[in-house]
């Protein structure tokens, strides 16, 4: 970006691109564009169907202990939020933020998908469509596309592979810890030349090189945190990389090492986002939430990694935390009842987390709590959804990032009219 775009120049740009005046006329510029450009959004995708009743155990719900049986938590085991809800004891960062009014839970949130298939539900979560196979691009990418005529917004995913949520017309960056690019080598330039007519490799590689440059700056800026190495990339917190095979010996030490790496990952991501020209929107995936058996230990480890990523992100963003909203969601929740193997099976609504210094200070939950009475459960089985997660996404994109509401309804989340935007969060 050369110069800051103002509204007048935007109108001209919009016209030259064939954008209708109607769109620009309804653009919600509550604040100046400069302020909106500072706002940051991080989406954490918890893969595998995260159990909401473990994230925010409703210990005050009369039916909770009975349904959960052997895996129920006692009221004094959880980090209390209110008379109904607590947080899992591993979520200390989230709890500390909640006490400051900088974190909320949405305890009964779900995508529109009801198939209880991981893969379909993840697709729906990431495409933002009303049905599976509704579209092949991700809603964060369509957000970048919608903003493009207004201001150039960078998107970044953390990890070697590109998640669906950021796939689409706009080439988003991806990054994972590594050794860095040798800037003296000719190879990057020669490859750019070789890829110049390749519609897939050309843009992706160019974006990869840009991101590497930014990574060097981000990590230098964060000294004395040591540069991350490839070993860190193999920690369980990384997307697509499950826990090391041995969870038994020196379990604590491994968990600590995993948490340290997760924290560094979060702080590096924060470092990226405060760079000039850095990403305004980022996505990060955490695996391993599919807990069919022996759930308690598994989910404690996963949640401790998530908490560490959030802690690191909070640190890495520094003063910019005040401009940030973080949303952590999963493709679906799990059964309300414990199953025969100390775990839970695929369910429906789960808990979403909304955090950030940009939130209006305050508490309370996002959406209603349907309760866990048998007749309140979805299909007498799962937590019933009260909030469509697209409503949460739409509310945050409109109020926090300044995406036009009409565009949100038509392009970013088509067929989502029934999902009312969650407003008043920022």
Partner 1 sequence: MSKIACQCKGERRLSLPSKDMMAAIAVTRFGLGARPGEIDAAKADPQGFLIDQIRREGADIPQDGGETSAQRFEQMRDYQQQRKIEREKKDGEGDKSAPQAAKAADRALRDKVSADFLARAQLATNTSAGFRERWALFWANHFTVSSTKQITSVLIGPFEREAIRPNVFNSFENLLVASSTHPAMLTYLDQAQSIGPNSQIAVRRRGAKVGLNENLAREIMELHTVGVDAGYTQGDVTEFARALTGFSVGRDNEDRQGQFVFRDPAHEPGARTIMGRQYAQADIKQGMAVLKDLAADKRTARHVCGKIARHFVSDTPPPALTARLEKRWMATGGDLAQVAKALVESPEAWDPTPAKFKTPYEYTLSTWRLIGAEPSAIERLAPILTGLGQKPFSAPSPKGWPEDAQTWASPDGLIKRMQWAQGFAAVVADRTDPNALAVQALGDRLTPPVAKAVSRAETRKEAFALLVMSPEFQRR
Residue with tokens 């959960």: 68
Evaluate the CA torsion angle 211, 41, 399, 35 in order and state its sign: negative
Residue closer to partner 1 (CB basis): 187 or 276: 187
Residue 149's nearest CA partner among 407, 414, 400 is 407
Residue closer to partner 1 (CB basis): 33 or 210: 210
3 binds partner 1 (CB under 8 A): no
Residue closer to partner 1 (CB basis): 34 or 242: 242
Query: In the 8-state DSSP scheme, what is residue 96?
Result: H
**Cα separations (Å) of 419 from 51, 61, 396, 409?**
22, 26, 13, 10
The number of C-alpha atoms within 13 Å of 184 and in the hemisphere containing its C-beta is: 0
The CB-of-203 to partner 1 minimum distance in angstroms stands at: 8
Our separate counts of H helices and E strands in the chain read 15, 10
92 binds partner 1 (CB under 8 A): no
Contact, 42 vs 324, CB < 8 A?
Answer: yes
184 binds partner 1 (CB under 8 A): no
Q: Which of residues 376-415 bind partner 1 (CB under 8 A)?
A: 379, 381
DSSP, collapsed to helix, strand or coil, labels residue 80 as strand
Judged by CB under 8 A, how many residues of this single chain contact partner 1? Answer: 72
The number of C-alpha atoms within 13 Å of 223 and in the hemisphere containing its C-beta is: 4
Binding mask 305-344 for partner 1 (x = CB under 8 A): ----------------------------------xxxxx-
287 binds partner 1 (CB under 8 A): yes
113 binds partner 1 (CB under 8 A): no
Residue closer to partner 1 (CB basis): 345 or 399: 345
The CB-of-29 to partner 1 minimum distance in angstroms stands at: 31
Sole window of 29-37, 180-188, 360-368, 414-422 interacting with partner 1 (rule: CB under 8 A): 180-188
Distance, in Å, from the CA atom of 265 to the CA atom of 285, rounded to the nearest integer, reads: 12
* Exposure letters 151-190 (e unless 16+ CB within 10 A, then b): bebbbbbbbeebbbbbbbebbbbbbbbeeebeeeeeebee
Distance, in Å, from the CA atom of 85 to the CA atom of 374, rounded to the nearest integer, reads: 19
Residues in the chain: 426
Q: Which of residues 204-223 bind partner 1 (CB under 8 A)?
A: 204-205, 207-209, 211-212
Q: Out of 40, 167, 263, 390, point to the residue binding partner 1 (CB under 8 A).
A: 167
The CB-of-13 to partner 1 minimum distance in angstroms stands at: 26
What are the backbone dihedrals phi and psi of residue 203, each rounded to the nearest 5 degrees, phi first?
-65, -40
Q: Out of 346, 390, 394, 400, point to the residue binding partner 1 (CB under 8 A).
A: 346
Q: Which of residues 114-143 bind partner 1 (CB under 8 A)?
A: 115-120, 132
Residue closer to partner 1 (CB basis): 36 or 121: 121
Sole window of 271-279, 284-292, 359-367, 387-395 interacting with partner 1 (rule: CB under 8 A): 284-292
Residue 284's nearest CA partner among 223, 334, 343, 239 is 239
Q: Which of residues 235-274 bind partner 1 (CB under 8 A)?
A: 239-243, 245-249
The CB-of-321 to partner 1 minimum distance in angstroms stands at: 25
Residue closer to partner 1 (CB basis): 102 or 345: 345
Binding mask 58-77 for partner 1 (x = CB under 8 A): ------------x-------
């Amino acid at each position: 970006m050369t110069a800051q775009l103002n509204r007048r120049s935007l109108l001209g740009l919009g016209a030259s691109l064939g954008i209708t005046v109607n769109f620009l006329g309804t653009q919600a510029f509550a604040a100046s564009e400069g302020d909106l450009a500072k706002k940051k959004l991080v989406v954490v995708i918890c893969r595998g169907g995260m159990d909401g009743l473990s994230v925010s155990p409703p210990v005050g719900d009369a039916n909770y202990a009975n349904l959960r049986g052997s895996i129920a938590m006692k009221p004094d085991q959880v980090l209390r939020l209110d008379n109904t809800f607590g947080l899992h004891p591993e979520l200390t960062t989230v709890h500390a933020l909640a006490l400051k009014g900088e974190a909320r839970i949405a305890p009964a949130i779900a995508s529109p998908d009801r198939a209880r298939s991981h893969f379909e539900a993840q697709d729906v979560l990431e495409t933002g469509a009303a049905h599976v196979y509704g579209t092949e691009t991700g809603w964060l990418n369509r957000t970048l596309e919608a903003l493009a005529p207004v201001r150039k917004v960078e998107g970044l995913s953390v990890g070697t592979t590109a998640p669906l949520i950021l796939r689409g017309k706009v080439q988003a960056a991806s990054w994972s810890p590594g050794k860095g690019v040798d800037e003296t080598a000719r190879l990057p330039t020669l490859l750019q030349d070789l890829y110049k007519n390749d519609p897939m490799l050309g843009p992706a590689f160019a974006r990869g090189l840009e991101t590497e440059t930014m990574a060097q700056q981000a990590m230098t800026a964060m000294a004395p945190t040591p540069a991350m190495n490839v070993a860190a990339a193999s920690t369980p917190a990384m997307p697509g990389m499950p826990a090391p095979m041995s969870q038994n010996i020196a379990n604590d030490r491994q968990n600590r090492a995993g948490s340290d790496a997760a924290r560094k990952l979060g702080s590096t991501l924060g470092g990226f986002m405060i760079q000039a020209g850095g990403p305004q929107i980022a996505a990060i995936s955490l695996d391993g939430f599919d807990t069919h058996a022996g759930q308690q230990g598994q989910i404690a480890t996963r949640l401790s990694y998530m908490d560490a990523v959030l802690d690191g992100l909070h640190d890495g963003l520094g003063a910019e935390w005040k401009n940030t909203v973080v949303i952590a969601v999963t493709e679906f929740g799990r059964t309300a009842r414990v199953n025969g193997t100390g775990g839970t099976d695929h369910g429906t609504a789960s808990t979403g987390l909304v955090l950030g210094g940009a939130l209006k200070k305050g508490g309370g939950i996002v959406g209603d709590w349907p309760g866990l009475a048998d007749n309140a459960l979805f299909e007498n089985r799962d937590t019933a959804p009260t909030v469509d997660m697209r409503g949460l996404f739409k509310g945050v994109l409109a109020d926090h990032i300044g995406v036009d509401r009409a565009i949100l309804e038509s392009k970013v989340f088509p067929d989502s009219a029934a999902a009312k935007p969650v407003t008043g969060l920022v």
